[in-house]
Structure 1
């Protein structure tokens, strides 16, 4: 990561976690031409997965925090794979929210990740996005996000 990115993250009082290694038979990051695909990742805080059900034992605000932590993990894995300075923008984001059947605020939870992308890349480079509710996620995590980014050429 170059100094510009280090300074930008510091301005926002953000720190990237250690990048996560694959937990199975897949690549965390795959690069194809000018596209960077990041596998579904989840939130970690103090080295432990953030678990729970949004709208159950987690509030919407806690869900947003989990989404933000997840995006920080994605950025860390991107930085390791190709350097954040080489990323032009996020093109696509799919946010899976572990929630109960009656929960309806999935987009609001997803905003935790989207607002971080906006702060780092600008409002003119917001990605297309889907926010879905799911019954379960690996390790009992509250949020999982997969993304597609575009490399600078």
Structure 2
């Protein structure tokens, strides 16, 4: 079993124990987080849904991320990650929203270097984002971002316990 599957199993169990639901908003990972959660037995009891928001228009129109924020900061930004997580939580009616945005490469994006990643987490208490700098291939960076999002989800679940 991979480390991603182990993290997902822990997250599913923790969410079920807490009686809460989770929604995802993924740009960089394009559905990997929700897919790895869904691979886990019991996920139907906690995974509310997910939005793959690869384009800014989806971030704005579906997740309600401010167009002015996207225009000024670009899509790879801590505030955008927090807004994406909050949008997923609200739009999908979940207890916790988790988001990913970043640059997997091979070229920089919005002035940010390859490996720049932000993970957003939103709960009833508010939304926050966490910045990372990963190295490796496009697939490796996306995998590291997926793992980081599961770790942040676990931390948010532990904080609610």
Same fold, judged at TM 0.5 (above): no
**Which TM bucket (shorter chain)?**
0.3 to 0.5
Name the one with the larger helix percent: 2
Structure with bigger strand share is 1
Q: Which is bigger in relative contact order (C-alpha 8 A, separation at least 6)?
A: 1
Q: TM-score, normalised by structure 2?
A: 0.31
